[in-house]
């Protein structure tokens, strides 16, 4: 994403549960809700679900981008991300699996190294400013 590009998301309650929302971003509509044990009806992903999957999506795309740039024989990449808060610290753990019988061990390692450089991860690790108006 370029530095000055602005993404706008519109989130509106739907009334389908106490917390159900409709989220519109970049031409896509997604439902969100809290799980039943948190007072929702589990009609869609909860906020931390979306944050977790955003990190995984960006990681997979970054690995694919690098493999394409280098013309490496990556067949598929899979990313599993877990998230939890431990002692007031947000902890993400990423498990990356690269598939490709023709990849060398050096290529595999480089793809794993590149996975740590995805833009969403860099954003989460960097300085964040949130303005509420």
Mean pLDDT throughout 79-85?
98
Range 47-125: architecture per CATH: 2-Layer Sandwich (3.30)
Query: Which residue is associated with the tokens 């939890």?
Result: 84
Q: Is residue 11 over pLDDT 70? A: yes
Domain segments of the chain as ranges: 1-45, 47-125
Q: pLDDT tens for residues 14-51?
A: 999 999 999 999 999 999 999 999 999 999 999 999 99
- pLDDT in the model for residue 1: 62
- pLDDT in the model for residue 4: 80
Mean pLDDT throughout 103-119?
97
The 3 state secondary structure assigned to 21-73 is EEEEECCEEEEECCCHHHCCCCCCCCHHHHHHHHHHHHHHHHHHHHHHHHCCC
Q: For residue 57, count CB atoms less than 10 angstroms from its CB and return exposed for 0-12, middle for 13-18, buried for 19 or more.
A: middle
């Amino acid at each position: 994403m370029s530095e000055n590009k602005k993404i706008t998301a519109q989130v509106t309650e739907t009334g389908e549960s106490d917390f159900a929302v409709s989220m519109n971003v970049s031409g896509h509509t997604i439902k969100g809700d809290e799980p039943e044990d948190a007072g929702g009806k589990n009609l869609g992903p909860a906020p931390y679900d979306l944050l977790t999957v955003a990190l995984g999506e960006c990681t997979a795309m970054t690995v694919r981008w690098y493999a394409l740039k280098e013309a490496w024989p990556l067949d598929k990449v899979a990313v599993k991300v877990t998230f939890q808060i431990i002692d007031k610290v947000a902890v993400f753990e990423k498990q990356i699996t690269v598939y490709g019988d023709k990849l060398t061990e050096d290529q595999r390692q480089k793809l794993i190294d590149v996975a740590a450089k995805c833009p969403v991860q860099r954003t989460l690790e960097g300085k964040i400013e949130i303005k509420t108006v």
